[in-house]
Chains A and B, each alone.
Chain A
Amino acid sequence: MTQPAPLVPAAAAAPHPRRGPDLLLPAALLAVAGAVVRALYFTPVDALQGPAQKIFYLHVPSAFTALYVAFPLLAIASGVYLWLRDDRLDRFAESTAEVGLVYMTVVLVTGPIWAKPIWGTWWTWDARLTLTLFLWFIILGYLVLRGAVDDRAMRARYSAVLGVLALLLVPFIHLSVYLFRTLHPKPIVLKPDAPSMPPEMLTTLLLSFAAFLLLFVALVRLRFRLGSERDARDRLHLED
């Protein structure tokens, strides 16, 4: 059976000329800085948890972006890649996986820092935390797999299958707080009823969501460009 030809012609994949400064990343970083300043200095302190509760404005948007934006996009791009075999989809999947892993790392670092003063322990092997750690390892495995396979088409195909399968953990992670006894609190925004928090806190949370989403877009865009440039230069190198 012959391999399908890449949909992107070699000429279109040629290295891009040197671009001007990318303004989206500084804009996203400024938005995140603004959201952080609002969270730390202009949002009321929780009466029960104290200042540590403000980790919420960092932990929850990072988790939301990784679980409900990055990994669904990874699965969609991977699934469509298996159908169309377009290199751009593979590069996009790779970019969302890498940036999603960064977001998940922040979730796994900030979670224990929040847990220690509130739960009295850095970590507990309950369903929510353990499944989140599993997903982190699966995405890490996805990126390690990509580095281990030299053949471009084979690498893209294998990693696309893993990219689709990784998404299967997301509903389990979401539902784990309902299905199992866990220390982790239930969702207070992504639930059937109205969000259960004061308006000032909700506004800060929504601003943080927007800022971290913008940062995600900026990082994926930068990573996608890097992948495009790398592939185009590799192609030219092979042709020489």
Chain B
Amino acid sequence: MPSNEGYMYAAYIAAAIVYLGYAASLMVRARRLRDRH
């Protein structure tokens, strides 16, 4: 069996960064909108 665990973790970490980053950006944008008005 090939040993390629590093690729597996890299993919899951990259996806977590994209999804969590987007969720955080939504919260930041909502807060900025409330603060602006």
Contact = CB atoms under 8 A, between A and B. Distances in A.
Interface of A: 15, 18, 25, 29, 32, 36, 40, 45, 47, 49-52, 54-55, 58-59, 62, 99, 102, 105-106, 109-110, 113-114, 116-117, 215, 219, 222-223, 225-226, 229-230, 233, 236-237
Nearest to B2: A50
Contacts of A45: 1
Contacts of B3: 50-51
Nearest to A109: B14
A229 B36 CA distance: 12
Given A55-B7, A116-B7, A222 B15 contact: no
A116 to B, nearest CB: 6
12 contacts: A25-B23, A29-B20, A40-B8, A50-B2, A102-B18, A102-B22, A106-B15, A117-B7, A215-B19, A223-B26, A229-B34, A230-B33
A109 B7 CA distance: 12
A236 B3 CA distance: 59
Interface residues of B, number: 24
A94 B36 CA distance: 22
B4 A117 contact: yes
A226 B33 contact: yes
Nearest to A18: B34
A50 B4 contact: yes
Contacts of B27: 222
Interface of B: 1-5, 7-8, 10-12, 14-15, 18-20, 22-23, 26-27, 29-30, 33-34, 37
B1 A233 contact: no
Contact of B2 (A49, A106, A215): A49
A36 B12 contact: yes
B22 A219 contact: yes
A72 to B, nearest CB: 21
A25 B2 CA distance: 37
B30 A229 contact: yes
Contacts of A223: 26
A215 B26 CA distance: 13
Contacts of B18: 102, 105-106, 109
Most chain B Cβ neighbours within 10 Å, of A45, A52, A54, A58:
A52
A165 B18 CA distance: 26
Contact of A54 (B8, B26, B37): B8
A219 B23 contact: yes
Name, among B5, B12, B15, the residue most crowded by chain A CB atoms within 10 Å (CB to CB). B15
Contacts of B23: 25, 29, 219, 222
